[in-house]
Amino acid sequence: MHVTAPAGARASRRRRWAGNRGCVTSILAVIWLAAAASPGHARAGAVVSIYSDERFRGYSLSDGRPVGILDLSYDDPQGFYGALSGSLVASREGPRPLSATINAGYARRLGSRLTGDVGIIHSRYSHYSGLASGRAYTEVYAGLSGKHLGTRLSISPDYVGTAGWTAHGEINGQVDITSELLLDGTLGALLPIGGGAYRGNSAAQWDVRAGLAQRVGRLTLHAALTARARGPDIYAGRDHHHRIALVIGVSTGL
């Protein structure tokens, strides 16, 4: 599921996005060039990744197939940030567009140990994804993070596969085992707001993830175990993939 904001904010904003791709890409391209021209005032980054599956909150968005992802990020010293991500999936017809995501927000230090983070994210998925319907969503979020632990609350009026408002709460953590090896994890719960979401079902949808990231030269190797609780298929997709899955991948900065 990579950017160059404060560490706490980085750990809590691993997302994918999309929308009006032409307009947004042009805007972020201008920001990207401005950041590159003024390295002392802002930072821009790019990461290319390949994963065996694209899992989001325990659900396979790539229908269990490998994906390639390009992440672009921009961080202003005042705390504003933006990120742009696009992905391809290895479909039966060859590589095909899977998703596009845009993320913008603001992160600020709150004392010496905490970082506050607010923002908005929009994602859109193609018909090559594992989603049968509701292939787009928008969320606004707010969170707090420290050196090792963080928490975030996300609210969506149109979450994928639902017919109402939803809230997703999560607790995430990260530990540097060595200077080259990182352990991270997330425990989350998706909740309906109002009677329309989940087609009338009011149960929380739990998800959990535990991962390792190992730097090897310019490469970073990834392995993560993801799981989601049993319950109704709120994503309205081809729900035949295992609820517990091991995802492996590799990424490198450009």
Structure-block tokens of residue 46: 């790019």
pLDDT tens profile 44-89: 999 999 999 999 998 888 988 999 999 999 998 899 999 999 999 9
Name the residue among 55, 231, 228, 19 with its Cα closest to residue 130: 55
DSSP letter at 39 equals T
Cα 204 to Cα 123: distance, rounded to the nearest angstrom: 22
pLDDT tens profile 146-163: 989 999 999 998 888 666
Q: How far is CA 144 from CA 13, 116, 141, in A?
A: 11, 5, 11
Percentage of the chain exceeding pLDDT 90:
53
The residue behind tokens 């002392």 is: 40
What's residue 10's pLDDT? 40
Q: Which residues, at least 6 apart from 37, have a Cβ–Cβ distance to it below 8 Å?
A: none
What's residue 80's pLDDT? 94
Cα 206 to Cα 76: distance, rounded to the nearest angstrom: 34
What's residue 133's pLDDT? 65
Q: Which residues, at least 6 apart from 23, have a Cβ–Cβ distance to it below 8 Å?
A: none
Report all structural domains of the chain as residue ranges with CATH numbers, in order of start. 7-253 (2.40.160.40)
Q: Give CA angle at 219 (24, 77), nearest 5°.
A: 45
pLDDT one digit per residue (tens) for the chain, 254 residues:
433 333 333 433 333 333 333 444 444 444 444 444 445 567 899 999 999 999 999 888 898 899 999 999 999 889 999 999 999 999 988 999 999 999 999 999 998 889 999 999 999 999 888 776 668 889 999 999 998 999 999 999 888 866 678 899 999 999 999 999 999 999 999 988 876 556 556 678 899 999 999 999 999 999 999 998 876 666 655 555 578 899 999 999 98
What's residue 254's pLDDT? 87
What's residue 130's pLDDT? 76
What's residue 111's pLDDT? 86
pTM for the model stands at 0.79
In the chain, what's the furthest Cα-to-Cα distance?
A: 52
